[in-house]
Amino acid sequence: MINQGEILQTIRMIDRQHLDVRTITMGISLRDCAHSDIALSCGKIYDKICRLAGDLVKTGESIEAEFGIPIVNKRISVTPIALIAESCDAADYLPFAKALDRAAKTVGVDFLGGFSALVHKGCTLGDEKLLRSIPEALAETELVCSSVNVGTTRAGINMTAVRAMGEIIKETAYLTRNSGSLGCAKLVVFCNAVEDNPFMAGAFHGIGEPECEINVGVSGPGVVYEALKAAKGQPLDAVAETIKKTAFHITRVGQLVAQEASARLKVPFGVVDLSLAPTPAIGDSVADILEEMGLSSVGAPGTTAALALLNDAVKKGGVMASSNVGGLSGAFIPVSEDAGMIAAARAGHLTLEKLEAMTCVCSVGLDMIAVPGDTPAETLAAIIADEAAIGMVNNKTAAVRIIPAYGKKLGDRVEFGGLLGSAPIMPVNTCSPAEFVLRGGRIPAPMHSLRN
Amino acid sequence: MRAFVTVVGQDKVGIIAAICILLAEKNVNILDISQTILQDCFTMIMLVDASECAVPFAELRDRLAELGAKMALTIRIQREEIFDAMHKI
C-alpha cells in the first residue's frame, strides 16, 4: 500500500493547490468533410463532430468522479477550416463557424478550436476567405476559436498576412465591443504553430494528425508555488530540482487521465501537453512562482531568467512522466488569466516590452493582453511581427493574443469572466510602425532554416 | 476496482462506524485501514475494493461526501491508480 504521506500529498495538491487537468481535447480530422456544396459540407462537419465527440464530456466527467481530479475543460480541435472550406465556392465561411458552434453546443464542450488557416508562406483563395470571415465568425459564435499561423522558422514570416491580422483583430474587437472585445480572446496569431496543442484558443488538429486523437493539457502552477515555498533561500539549481520533481507528479496525473480517456473513448492517445497554465484564482499563478524565486514583482529585472529556469525545469520534469509529450509544453504567461500578472500590470511593474522579452523563454507568447481600443491596426500588426520574429529566429512557437478593447483607454480594465479573467489596459509604444508594416511581402527564413 | 477513502477532520465518536456502515450497505469491501490523530485532526485512510459496489462510483462518492458534510468531515474516495501514477515510477 502506498504510504499515507503520499496519499495526503496528492489530496493537498488537488484540494488546496489547484492541481487539475486543464483540458481533455479531442482532435478530429475533418478532411473527409470537404464538399463543393457548403450546406452539405457543414452538415458533414456537424455530424462527424457529434458522432466522434458525443461521449467526450460524459467520459471526462466519469474520470473526474473516479479519480477525484478536476478536469476543467473538455474541448475539441478540428482540421484548419480553410483546408476544408476551400472546396466550396462560398465567399463567406461564417456558415462553417456556425456549424462548428452548433456541434460544440450539442456535444457540450467548453470550446472548439480550428477556425484556422496556415498562411506562413502565402494564402490560397480559401485562406483569404477564411481570414475575412474571422471577425464575424467570432462575433456570431460562442464556442469557436480561431488561429492563424503567419510564420515558421522554415518559411519565414508572411508580412502581408501579418498586416491583415492587425486589421482583423481591430474588426473583431469592434464587432464584439459589447462584451469587452471578447472575440479577440478567441483569436491567436502564431509563428511555428504546433499541430497537437490541446489548449485554447490556439488548438487545431494539424494535417499530419490521425483521424481522431485525445490530447491532454495539465496544469498546476499552485503546486509548483507551494513546493518552492519549502525551498526558500536555496540556490537556483535546487529550485530547478524542486520544479522538476513537482512537474513529474503533475504530468503523471495528465498521463493517467489521457490513457483512461483514450481507452474509454476508443480513440488513440496523442500527447500530454505539460504546460503550467494559470487561472485567475488566488494561488494558481505563474507570477507567484517567479516572485517566490525572489523577485519583488513579476516584471522586475531577473524575470526573464527566472521564467527560463521555470520553463526548462517543467519540461525536464514532465518529459519522463509521459510516453508522449507535445503541444506547447512549458509555462504560459497570459496576463488576464493570472492574478499575479494582473496585479503587476496594474502597478506598472510589468510592461508589454518586458512581456515580449519573457516570451523568448516561455512556451508561447504575448497572451491575453488588453491594450487601448484606439491602438492602430498597423501597431498591432507590428507587435505580431516582433513576436513572430522571436519565434522564427529561436525555432520556437510564438503567438499573440491581444485585445484592443473597444472604447477603453489606459487605466481602464476589461472583464472577460471565468478562466479568461480580467485585464488592465496596458500602454503601447505610440511611435508608428505603419510604413514598415504596409510594405507587406515576406521576411525571409533565417539562415538556420537551411538544416538539410 | 480498488480505491482509497480518505477522511480528514475533527475527531469524534463513531466516524469509522458510520463510514463502515455506509460502505457495507453499498457492498464495498474494506481491505486495509490506517488512522492517525495529529493535533486533534483525525486522518483516516481506507483501502477498499469497489468492484462489486451496488451503486455507480459517482454516487458512492456523493454519498460519502454527504456523510462527511453531516459529520463535519471531509470524506473522499478516489481510485488507487491516481496515487500510484503520481508516486510510483
pLDDT over threshold 90, residue B49:
yes
User: Torsion angle of alpha carbons A173, A94, A78, A325, nearest 10°?
Assistant: -10
Do residue A223 and residue A162 come from a single domain?
no
As a whole number, mean pLDDT of residues A53-63 equals 97
Report chain A's mean pLDDT, rounded to a whole number: 95
* Residue range A253-268: mean pLDDT, rounded: 96
- Using pLDDT thresholds of 50, 70 and 90, give the confidence band for residue B89: confident
A175 and A270 share one domain: no
Report d(CA A373, CA A383) in Å as an integer.
15
Interface ipTM: 0.90
Instruction: Quick: pLDDT tens for A283-317.
Output: 899 999 999 999 999 999 999 999 999 999 999 99
Confidence band for A111, pLDDT divided at 50, 70 and 90? very high
Among candidates A1, A67, A255 on the partner chain, residue whose Cβ is nearest the Cβ of B79: A67
Can you tell me the distance from the alpha carbon of A177 to that of A166, in angstroms, rounded to the nearest whole number?
16
Look at residue A2 and tell me whether its pLDDT is greater than 80.
Answer: no
- From A255, A276, A274, A286, select the one nearest A329 (Cα to Cα): A274
Question: A201-239 as b/e, with b when 16 or more CB fall inside 10 Å?
Answer: bbbbbbeebeebbbbbbbbbbbbbbbbbeebeeeeeeeb
pLDDT at A404 over 80: yes
Give the lowest-confidence range in A2-11, A298-307, A347-356, A434-443: A2-11
pLDDT in tens, A313-359: 999 999 999 999 998 998 999 999 999 999 999 999 999 999 999 99
Report the gap between the CA of B33 and the closest CA in chain A (Å). 10
Residue with the bigger pLDDT between B37 and A42: it is A42
Q: Is residue A203 part of a domain?
A: no
Across the A:B interface, residue pairs with CB atoms under 8 Å apart total 64
Which of A273, A292, A138 has its CA nearest to residue A196? Answer: A273
CB count in 10 Å sphere of residue B51: 11
Average pLDDT over residues A68-75: 95
Strands A413-415 and A422-424: antiparallel
Choose among A336, A348, A239, A338: nearest CA to A299.
A348
Looking at per-residue pLDDT, the higher value among A1 and A13 belongs to A13
Which chain A residue's Cα is nearest to B36? Answer: A4
Domain ranges of chain B: 2-87
Residue A12, domain member (yes or no): no
Domain termination residue (choose one: A173, A191, A209): A191
CA distance A64 to A72: 9
Give the domain extent around A67. 23-191
Of residues B58, B84, B86, nearest to A65 (C-beta) = B58
d(CA A210, CA A267): 10
Q: What is the pLDDT of residues A229-260, one digit of tens each?
A: 999 999 999 999 999 999 999 999 999 999 99
Between 3.40.1360.10, 3.40.50.1100, 3.40.190.10, 3.30.70.260, what CATH number should domain B2-87 receive?
3.30.70.260
**pLDDT reading at A1 higher than 70:** no
What pLDDT score does A405 carry? 97
- Taking contacts as CB-CB distances below 8 angstroms, the residues of chain A near B59 are none
On whether the CB atoms of residues A406 and A389 are closer than 8 A, the answer is no
φ/ψ (deg, to 5) at A106 = -60, -45
Determine the Cα–Cα distance for residues A165 and A134; give it in Å rounded to an integer.
10
In this structure, the answer to whether residues A48 and A127 fall within a common structural domain is yes
β-pairing verdict for B41-49 and B2-10: antiparallel
- Find the chain A residues whose C-beta atoms sit closer than 8 A to any C-beta of B: 1-2, 4, 6-11, 61-62, 65-69, 249, 252-253, 255-256
Query: CATH no. for residue A310?
Result: 3.20.70.20
Q: How confident is the model at residue A15 (pLDDT cuts 50, 70, 90)?
A: confident
Residues of B in contact with A68 (CB under 8 A): 61, 76-79, 82
How many Å apart are CA A127 and CA A133, to the nearest integer?
10
Average pLDDT over residues B48-72: 95
A3 vs A203, residue with greater confidence? A203
∠ at Cα A224 (A221, A226), nearest 5°? 110
A201 in a structural domain: no
Q: Cell 476543467 sits at which residue?
A: A72
